[in-house]
Structure 1
Amino acid sequence: MALRRALHFVFKVGDRRKTATFYRDVLGMKILRHEEFEEGCKATCNGYPYDGKWSKTMVGYGPEDDHFVAELTYNYGVGEYHLGNDILGLTLQSSQAVSNAKRLGWPITEVGEALYVTEAPGGYRFYLVDKDQPANDPVQKVCLGVSDLQTSAHYWTTLLGMKILEKNEEKKTVLMGYTDNQCKLELRDIGGAVDHGTAFGRIAFSCPREQLPGLEALMKKENQKILTPLVSLDTPGKATVEVVILADPDGHEICFVGDEAFRQLSVMDPKGNELLDKAMDEDKSDEWFAKHNRQKAAA
């Protein structure tokens, strides 16, 4: 399955401005593209059951063709989400990010040798390796909590075609990926049920478009959960992509998208930064809620 590649993880955000500060100024990532939508996504990209106005911002250290990035989805009018124990953290290597956090007074804690932990707004955890950024992608791995490591590892390897790169019996983790030079997926047995809260995210991968029907058919044959059968998604002025959304044994959402169209859709937009700033300046929802002495909804 070497043709498959890890793309991004989807985070729901309630405060775009604080979130932008974290990714841009603390982590040192770039705004790769920003898109505004007037109604909810057919594949519930902005979460369920939100069917109103929302935005998507892709942030990362480089182009989506060869970097694992974050997709930040913002639902207008929703101020916060309840974080579960499903996403346990992203690990990235950047001494500059560690330095930025200390300089800006962003809370950061040393948890090991050359290893720090910090949180994005909303409580999402990031582990920062205090070493120079590598020439390729600084994002090393995404860690997801699972209730039964053996069952989950079987699903991701046998059905989704990942290869196991490392097992750690003591930490109850399995590290896997499609190729050695991509962002890896780490599964950690949390010894109990996985709670997705309302902040539940989604991990995305691409594959050749011709593999999507077969992937969907395999999941049907194996009686595995399909959240969204093969569907086409439109982005105004950009390529239309096809996706299948799955759920693993613990309900982690997994998006597979046709690679060819996604490469067209995900071309870096030099106006991304400007578009995000413009959208934040034009979003008067905080002022409206304050004026009416009301709080934004908590999902």
Structure 2
Amino acid sequence: MGPTPCRNLHWVFKVGDRTATIRFYEDVLLMKPLRHEEFTEGCAAACNGPYDGMWSKTMIGYGPEDDNFVLELTYNYGVKSYELGNDYMGITIRSKRVYGNIQVPCVEVAAPDGYRFWVQDEEPQLPGPSSSSPSSPPCPMTELRLHVTDLERSLAFWSGFLGFSSRRPAPGEALLSCGPGQCELRLVQLPQGQPLQRGTAFGRVAFACPGEQLQQLEADVRAAGYTVHTPYVSLDTPGKATVQVVILQDPDGHEICFVGDAGFRELSVWDPSASRLLAEALEKDRSAEWFKQREEREARMRAKGV
């Protein structure tokens, strides 16, 4: 049986055009920055992907991370774009306010990097009585949808091994949850024979559980023959809490980050200066100017036949 109690925290996106991305999430999806952090070198747990240079992390969503599923936007300085795969399908947002804000005659919208969202003209259900925060407003982000190549094999991992509750809403699909009021995970079977492609834009889902369970979780994963992506490690954020982490991979290679709940709650407290810190980082970032100059230089070289 997997870690318990467990709560679904966030999904990680790698973004190229940070300015356009932030504008989309704030102006179109009506999210708010919750905290922003800058780093001078790559993350020990590869939070920013397989890169070792400067990067930033922006947590953005509809409310405090204690009670809401949110998004983690990781930005690697000097990386302009990422190749999309077919692993991530989309995130469902249930919000009349967001639906009314979208100025297009459809419910599907895409972020500048191509990540899709389905916006529904309805409100999410209230958390059940056993939720850790039953008095908090329900989170509008209610579902994360991923492709898998073998649904039965995936269910053996997510439900059979990790202990997530599951139900079958349609043929070739399964809805998984780690607890009441949590953002659900919908696994969708790819057509037979079609491979799962992660591209370079692949993301990661994160969950919190009691920190004392993490090392046993890692041992159980190894004993069951599943994959440990990152062994137990303590991650430091300058001026903030230290968080214990274990990262797994499901049978399709989807990365699953488990963090110690106590440390993460301390780390993820809403920062009232998040918007200001983000604005300052955007102002100082000259990546767009650098890319433009490089493209102009390459165009001149091509014109000269070099």
The TM-score normalised by the length of structure 2 is 0.89
Show the counterpart of 1:87: 88
Show the counterpart of 1:176: 176
**1:186 counterpart = 2:177:** no
CA–CA separation in structure 2 for the residues paired with 1:204 and 1:57: 15
The Cα of 1:136 is off from its aligned counterpart by: 1.4
The Cα of 1:109 is off from its aligned counterpart by: 5.1
Show the counterpart of 2:203: 201
CA–CA separation in structure 1 for the residues paired with 2:178 and 2:235: 25
CA–CA separation in structure 1 for the residues paired with 2:297 and 2:77: 15
CA–CA separation in structure 2 for the residues paired with 1:137 and 1:169: 24
CA–CA separation in structure 1 for the residues paired with 2:5 and 2:105: 38
The Cα of 1:167 is off from its aligned counterpart by: 0.3
Instruction: After superposition, give the CA deviation of every residue in 1:236-272 in whole Å (9 maximum; x if it has no partner).
Output: 1000101001110000000000000000000000000
Show the counterpart of 1:217: 219
Matches within 5 A, 1:152-171: 152-164=154-166, 166-170=167-171
Q: Which amino acid aligns with 2:110?
A: E
Show the counterpart of 2:248: 246
Q: Determine helix, strand or coil for the equivalent of 2:49.
A: coil
Show the counterpart of 1:148: 150
Q: 1:156 to 1:99 in 2, by over 3 A?
A: same
Q: Determine helix, strand or coil for the equivalent of 2:102.
A: helix
Show the counterpart of 2:17: 15
**Contact 2:151/2:187 (CA < 8 Å) preserved in 1?**
yes
Show the counterpart of 1:105: none
CA–CA separation in structure 2 for the residues paired with 1:148 and 1:79: 33
The TM-score normalised by the length of structure 1 is 0.91
* Structure richer in strand, relative to its length: 1
The Cα of 1:26 is off from its aligned counterpart by: 0.8
Greater shift in the superposed pair: 239-248 or 134-143 = 134-143
CA–CA separation in structure 2 for the residues paired with 1:175 and 1:37: 36
Instruction: After superposition, give the CA deviation of every residue in 1:102-128 in whole Å (9 maximum; x if it has no partner).
Output: 0xxxxx453xxxxx1110111101000
Q: Determine helix, strand or coil for the equivalent of 1:65.
A: coil
The Cα of 1:291 is off from its aligned counterpart by: 2.9
**Contact 1:117/1:127 (CA < 8 Å) preserved in 2?**
yes
Q: 1:53 to 1:59 in 2, by over 3 A?
A: same
Q: Determine helix, strand or coil for the equivalent of 2:215.
A: helix
Q: Which runs of 5+ in 2 are unaligned?
A: 126-136, 299-306
Q: Which runs of 5+ in 1 are unaligned?
A: 103-107, 111-115
Q: Which amino acid aligns with 2:209?
A: C
CA–CA separation in structure 1 for the residues paired with 2:110 and 2:170: 27
Instruction: After superposition, give the CA deviation of every residue in 1:175-199 in whole Å (9 maximum; x if it has no partner).
Output: 0101121111110001222100000
Show the counterpart of 1:120: 111
**Contact 1:233/1:243 (CA < 8 Å) preserved in 2?**
yes
CA–CA separation in structure 1 for the residues paired with 2:138 and 2:222: 37
CA RMSD of aligned residues (A): 1.4
Q: Which amino acid aligns with 2:228?
A: I
**Contact 2:123/2:140 (CA < 8 Å) preserved in 1?**
no
CA–CA separation in structure 1 for the residues paired with 2:93 and 2:123: 11
**Contact 1:46/1:54 (CA < 8 Å) preserved in 2?**
yes
Q: Pick the structure with greater CA Rg.
A: 2
CA–CA separation in structure 2 for the residues paired with 1:151 and 1:261: 32
Alignment size in residue pairs: 282
Q: After the TM superposition, which parts of structure 1 deviate over 4 Å for at least 4 consecutive aligned residues?
A: none
CA–CA separation in structure 1 for the residues paired with 2:96 and 2:54: 37
Instruction: After superposition, give the CA deviation of every residue in 1:58-111 in whole Å (9 maximum; x if it has no partner).
Output: 001000001000000000010100000111100011122222220xxxxx453x
Show the counterpart of 2:302: none
